[in-house]
Amino acid sequence: MSAGLLGDEGERYQRRPRLVAAPRVTLLAPWIHRKCRPNVDTGSEVSLATGGWGADREGSEQMRRTAAAIAAGALVLLTGCNAGDDGGASAQQTSAEQAAPAQVALTPADGATDVAPSTPLEITVTDGELGEVTVVDAAGAAVPGTVEDGADPAVADVWVPEAPLAYSTSYTVNATATNEANEEATAKTTFTTVTPAKLSTPSIGPLEGMTVGVGLPIRVYFDDPVADKAAVESHLSVTSSTPTDGAWNWFSDTEVHFRPSEYWPADTDVTLDAELYGVNFGEGIWGEKNRTVGFHIGARHVSIADAASHQMQVFDGDQLVQTFPISTGKPSNPSYNGPHVVTELNRNRVMDSSTYGVPVDSPAGYRTPVEYAVRISNSGEFVHAAPWSVAQQGHSNVSHGCINMSTERAAWFYDFSQPGDIVEIKNSDGGPLRSDVYDWTIAWADWQAGSALK
């Protein structure tokens, strides 16, 4: 079309540039973390628009830059809020990274051999808390037991089996522990118990349930010599219902006795715990089993036989109940001095000189039946009825070392006596007592020196 045809109205029909809307930036409030939108209403939006094509280009460019800046700020705001959401997890991660790992140490050490079955299974945990502890034998069978507090302050716990571990057996221990971050640590040890060359169980007196006198010591006899006396003695424990002192004394490599410094208190219960299973006696010999023996100390019976006055005083507790005329050992065969312990009561007995080395057919020999014989030593000394010496009783000493009484008096003393009673002989020419049980002739300081634990 030509310009003329348009005329004045042509300008009305002139093509105008199409208006293009400026970019709209919309920030929706729900995107923003609650902690980061204190001044923004829920569901509101912020809009930025440029003017039409006819607007000033410079202003339009400024509006674009403003919109871009606001959009960038919103993104920074959202990023910052999201970082706030992850703060707890990051702190936990840092705590886990900083928590020291738990450590578990086990004793016996892994691969240990010749371990005593009584050895404590010690568990020490650092920087954590003990979890599960399991023990199995070589066949994989579970070994029942419990975890207890260790006696040693440096050891946190000790695993204690329900029944003692066996000799010549392999065991595996597994233990777990967790630290503050609940991270688990594990430990494992496998060890083998010792194979003894020989097992030993000692004999013990008094016997279980006996009632004895105040002078009877505890005696423990071994079949084989004990090389490690301290190890054995440390596992012999004596307790009494009436408090008293006491100590062990080794009479030989196969015999050890226990007594208080003075006679036992009357009416007292005494218990010996011989915890010898798993104890190394030395020289390849190990304890076969544990034993407990309980007995009762009865009434206090102490008699004093004076070889010079030919009289014997009998005390029941602190009360003098009898004074008997007696005859003790003659000068050629005197009685021994010192506290004797009653060990045996015989209603009838044959006295035989050959039992202590004197042939029956020798000039000093004899074989004589007697009544009411109360043994007071293993050297042939008894308190017994001797009707043949009644005339000398109370006046002179004519026996072969025994204490002679009339039949009536001997019967009374027999009924009065119990194993463990004391008969002390004094003022004899026979010297100190020679017997298997001469415990009370030993001074207390010397007795204590006979302990392997001194």
Catalogue the active-site residues: 384, 402
CA 202: distance to chain centroid? 22
Distance from C-alpha of 144 to C-alpha of 405, rounded to nearest angstrom = 63
Distance from C-alpha of 172 to C-alpha of 139, rounded to nearest angstrom = 10
Vertex 210 angle, CA 206 and 216, to 5°: 45
Query: How far is CA 39 from each of CA 44, 47, 78, 134, 211, rounded to the nearest angstrom?
Result: 11, 16, 15, 61, 96
Of 300, 341, 304, 305, residue with least CA distance to 317: 300
* Strand (E) or helix (H) holding 273: strand 268-274
| Ordered strands of the 198-200 beta sheet | 198-200, 285-287, 280-282
* Strand (E) or helix (H) holding 107: strand 103-107
**DSSP conformation class of 115:** B
Query: How far is CA 423 from each of CA 337, 358, 377, 390, rounded to the nearest angstrom?
Result: 10, 25, 10, 20
CA gyration radius for the chain?
A: 50
Residues with Cβ within 8 Å of residue 73, at least 6 apart in sequence: none
Distance from C-alpha of 285 to C-alpha of 202, rounded to nearest angstrom = 12
Per-residue buried b or exposed e for 422-454, using 16+ beta carbons within 10 Å of the residue's own CB: bbbbeebbbeebebebbbbbbeeeebbeebbee
Residues with Cβ within 8 Å of residue 169, at least 6 apart in sequence: 117, 137, 138, 192, 193
- Encoded amino acid at 393, one letter: Q
Distance from C-alpha of 123 to C-alpha of 187, rounded to nearest angstrom = 10
CA 171: distance to chain centroid? 20
Neighbours of 58 (CB within 10 A): 8
Q: Taking a C-beta distance cutoff of 8 angstroms, is the pair 180, 132 a contact?
A: no
